[in-house]
Amino acid sequence: MSRSPKIARPVWRSSVLARAAAGTALAALLAGCHADRVVESGYPMPYAERHPIRIAEGGAVHEILIGTGRGSLTPLQRAELTSFAGSWRRRGTGGVTIEVPAGSVNEQAAHAATREVRAVLTAAGIPPHGIAVASYVPLPENTLAPLRVVYPTVKAEAGPCGVWPDDLGVADYGLQVENRPYWNFGCANQKAMAAMIDNPADLVQPRSVQAQSAARRRTVIDAYVRGQDTSTEVRDKDGEKISEVAK
């Protein structure tokens, strides 16, 4: 009985197949843990697009506590109200309203102080026709409620923060596979940045450049014509040059 001869397989073919299989497995493994792998999702990836800083209308409020037996402002209250009225010229976008508490224990005293409050506002530069008086009901009513001075402003805001539409745990496997930032990421930073903006109009257009100092320009030009150094020499409080401190 004759046996069929065995066919010898080339060694190079087996090694090539083994390497290809190993390379495919390694590529699949690396693709699963690559840190830059991002899949498009239902909301923007940049946090500035998810939580944009918006310009909205707000209000500036100054509260004044009037005692039941006084009916007038203290010297400190007059100074604080004058400073608040000064900010109206820079930030105000409308008239000023004096809100008097109704039904509170100091209602009569607050009404008596309204005339003095109006006089302080007028003296600070607010036109009389731009000042109105209204009433509001404090909660609870039988409390010592403040007299409030209010005017509208333009403010920058962002948020709301603390919104968690997705589960960040192991239950939401799809979120982990997509490797995308969670929705609330960056919201607190945007909200804090909006609160620090002094003039929201700066978000719309830059401020105009101020005029140069004619006196300083003349000094620099004269020094340049004489061949002298035109740089400014700054010294600290001890009289040493700033450039020589680190030597």
Task: Based on the fold, state whether residues 70 and 148 are members of the same structural domain.
Answer: yes
Boundaries of domain holding 84: 54-154
Out of 127, 154, 181, pick the residue that ends a domain.
Answer: 154
Residue 128 belongs to a domain: yes
The count of structural domains within the chain is 2
Task: Based on the fold, state whether residues 118 and 182 are members of the same structural domain.
Answer: no
pLDDT higher than 80, residue 12: no
Average pLDDT, the chain: 81
- The per-residue pLDDT for 142 is 77
Task: Based on the fold, state whether residues 83 and 175 are members of the same structural domain.
Answer: no
Torsion of CA 108, 113, 118, 124, to 10 degrees: -160
User: Which tokens is 4 given?
Assistant: 């069929």
Task: Based on the fold, state whether residues 165 and 146 are members of the same structural domain.
Answer: no
What pLDDT, in 10s, does the model give residues 138-158?
988 778 999 999 999 999 999
- The per-residue pLDDT for 7 is 47
What pLDDT, in 10s, does the model give residues 18-38?
565 555 655 555 454 444 444
Residue 87 belongs to a domain: yes
pLDDT higher than 80, residue 85: yes
- The per-residue pLDDT for 45 is 85
Across 204-209, average pLDDT: 83
Whole-prediction pTM: 0.59
Calculate the alpha carbon distances from 188 to 72, 152, 157, 183 in Å. 42, 25, 11, 12
Task: Based on the fold, state whether residues 66 and 130 are members of the same structural domain.
Answer: yes
Cβ neighbors of 173 (< 8 A, separation 6 or more) are none
pLDDT higher than 50, residue 11: no
Across 184-210, average pLDDT: 89
pLDDT higher than 80, residue 245: no
- Domain at 74, CATH number: 3.30.1330.60
pLDDT higher than 80, residue 170: no
- The per-residue pLDDT for 129 is 93
Nearest to 150 by CA among 170, 135, 169, 129: 135
Task: Based on the fold, state whether residues 150 and 115 are members of the same structural domain.
Answer: yes
> Percentage of the chain surpassing pLDDT 90?
44
